Amino acid sequence: DQQVKQNSPSLSVQEGRISILNCDYTNSMFDYFLWYKKYPAEGPTFLISISSIKDKNEDGRFTVFLNKSAKHLSLHIVPSQPGDSAVYFCAASAHVYNSNSGYALNFGKGTSLLVTP
Amino acid sequence: DAEITQSPRHKITETGRQVTLACHQTWNHNNMFWYRQDLGHGLRLIHYSYGVHDTNKGEVSDGYSVSRSNTEDLPLTLESAASSQTSVYFCASSERAGEKLFFGSGTQLSVL
């Protein structure tokens, strides 16, 4: 059963506008959340993370918001640039051992972002 | 610079053959993982290891095995390749369990 859900397979945004990528999770034990970016024919690369003790984390144009009560997080990219076009994966982990996955990251299915000029 | 490398980058094999995908990291991380990426499924965990001689099954481990004889390497073996195992395979490592992963560039495997 998918514990991390990205319900939008794709998103198209104009250059300069805000991109908002959403992610929901079901496991209340998750306490660390990450976003990865993936270009074709490359491995995923770490973008930004947030611990459950925070509700916001910023790094340049990227901001992640966490709403624990709603089990929801979002990634905001402002302003969006054509080079941001990629697949974005949301991931979550718990610092409590899981018999199925240990402490491994659980990933969503990804959202393909296209930023058009 | 430390890195994680996977080989081969591309592999074509026939059903029933045994195939081994290599993963080597120079981060000196104890934690290593194998994921597969498929359209509509995202990244799914195959096997993971938290140290030498430690191996564990992930959510899609059937038909795969791993061994960890040293810190640097975690080879993934497909015992008898099946067409359902056609996928892109990613190896990853992390310094601390449950935290940021560093991924390799992936192996595109086609089973015909």
Instruction: Give, for all 117 residues of chain A, the pLDDT tens digit.
Output: 789 999 999 999 999 999 999 999 999 989 999 999 999 999 999 999 999 999 999 999 999 999 999 999 999 999 999 999 999 999 999 877 676 667 788 999 999 999 999
What is chain B's mean pLDDT, rounded? Answer: 95
B61 touches chain A (CB under 8 A): no
A104 with B58: Cβ contact below 8 A: yes
Instruction: Output the CA–CA distances (angstroms, integers) from residue B80 to B4, B16, B34, in the order listed.
Output: 26, 4, 18
Structural contact between residues A65 and A71, judged by C-beta atoms closer than 8 angstroms: no
Q: What angle do CA B61, B47, B14 make, to 5 degrees?
A: 55
B99 with A101: Cβ contact below 8 A: no
